[in-house]
Amino acid sequence: MKPTLYSAWRASAPYRVRIGLKLKGVDYNYSALDLVHGQQREAAYQAVNGQMLVPTLDLGDGVRLTQSLAILEWLEETHPQPPLLPKDPLDRQRVRTMALIVACDIHPVNNTRIGKKLAEFGIAQDVVVKDWIHTWIREGFDALEPLVAAHGKGFAFGDTPTIADCCLVPQVYNARRFNLDLTPYPAIVGVADGAAAAHPAFQAAHPNKQPDAVPA
Amino acid sequence: MKPTLYSAWRASAPYRVRIGLKLKGVDYNYSALDLVHGQQREAAYQAVNGQMLVPTLDLGDGVRLTQSLAILEWLEETHPQPPLLPKDPLDRQRVRTMALIVACDIHPVNNTRIGKKLAEFGIAQDVVVKDWIHTWIREGFDALEPLVAAHGKGFAFGDTPTIADCCLVPQVYNARRFNLDLTPYPAIVGVADGAAAAHPAFQAAHPNKQPDAVPA
């Protein structure tokens, strides 16, 4: 049975999982949630994912996987080819570090629920973008850039895609959505616009290719 | 050579790694950073960890590991006994999901740098605690509680410690520090105050046992 991915076209976390599924050649059904109108907080989805966040990967028979990085690790363990982690433990640590800089320290502080709360606090949207979203992306990218420069050879770590790229590419998409100047990050941008942009899996997982994409 | 852990007594992320190191029986030197006075942002530590966050695990010879969950996964791969992840891929996914609910969706939005930024925005400290810190812990614990209730048997998943407990116990400590009512979370509290509290590794890793602990 094909798994079903609960997703939203522009959201970073399901975008990561789409890249992973495409890289592993796993076919899936696509179920879209309208985050702008809060569909993820309706009872129907809360029954699927108690955290009311995307993604969820529904394997059928009541087995539902959440948390994008835990899904990617599960994919790696159940579908080993092509590998999304190197073999050496220290190299694996590096790749996971890159992924977690995005998945822990950039993305969660900039996501939809946080933006809503800042608006409730009366913080103007332009302040949120320039003094919050940009700040946390920059702090994360400042740490990521030298790691990618040191370890990347086309992709973020070496010359094949890893879970670091699954996280990095959606974060670059997100940074551009909020008009962050990426000039200080040539290694990061080089991955996103180079090897990743040219790879069919990354192309297929792109927000604009999703059924729920809203044309610009 | 003994590794050196850059830590801070009350910070969640190094607390997770201390639990992991103690569980694995890995001896280490302890290097304290004073986060309250911004020591993590001084040049000396920035040279150790470009992200200026704790923890860093310095293995010597210039090899420095960052990101607490990537350190725990590395520990698991290099020191397999006792295991901190179950064997079955679906079980491993569950454990990582629990860990990531804390490590992605609760902790990073409540950490020191975020609190400082909210203060810069003029949000009063009592509002930050009640309408920010409490909100995100509750949303995460609301999702975690049924998972622990379903899968825990003393610890968060089964009857031995996993990386889920390494994340959960520091988060409970944190919740109490900010006076969150934990009554709705009997399964979570049962782990923290039961099997974990009774375990020597969790005892040794507790903030109050660290060299830089400040007495109440």
The reply to whether domains B4-81 and B89-201 share a CATH topology is no
Residues 6+ apart with CB under 8 A from A122: none
In chain A, domain spans: 4-81, 89-201
CB nearest A101 (choices: B51, B77, B100)? B51
Calculate the average pLDDT of chain B.
96
User: A79 with B110: CB under 8 angstroms?
Assistant: no
What is the Cα Rg of chain A in Å?
Answer: 17
User: Quick one: closest CA in A to B128, which residue?
Assistant: A121
Look at A41-55, B54-68, B78-92, B184-198 and tell me which has the smallest mean pLDDT.
A41-55
Interface contact flag, A97 B123, Cβ < 8 Å:
no
Q: Which of A88, A90, A93 to mutate to test the interface with B (most CBs of B within 10 A)?
A: A93
In the predicted model, what is the mean pLDDT of residues B186-209?
Answer: 98
Residues 6+ apart with CB under 8 A from B66: A97, B49, B51, B53, B55, B56, B57
Over residues A69-99, the pLDDT tens digits come to 999 999 999 999 999 999 999 999 999 999 9
| Architecture (CATH level 2) of domain B89-201 | Up-down Bundle (1.20)
- Distance set, CA A149 to CA A98, A185, A191 (Å): 12, 9, 10
3-state class of A155 per DSSP? coil
Calculate the average pLDDT of chain A.
96
Is residue B216 pLDDT above 80, yes or no? no
Give the pLDDT confidence score for residue A156 in this predicted structure.
98
Give the pLDDT confidence score for residue B112 in this predicted structure.
86
pTM (whole model) above 0.95: yes
Residues of B with CB below 8 A from A71's CB?
A: 93
pLDDT-derived band at B17 (thresholds 50, 70, 90) equals: very high
Interface contact flag, B92 A77, Cβ < 8 Å:
yes
Taking domain A4-81, whether its CATH number is 3.40.640.10 is answered by no
Over residues B130-143, the pLDDT tens digits come to 999 999 999 999 99
Residues 11-50 of A with CB under 8 A from B: 50
Nearest-Cα distance to chain B for A20, in Å, is: 15
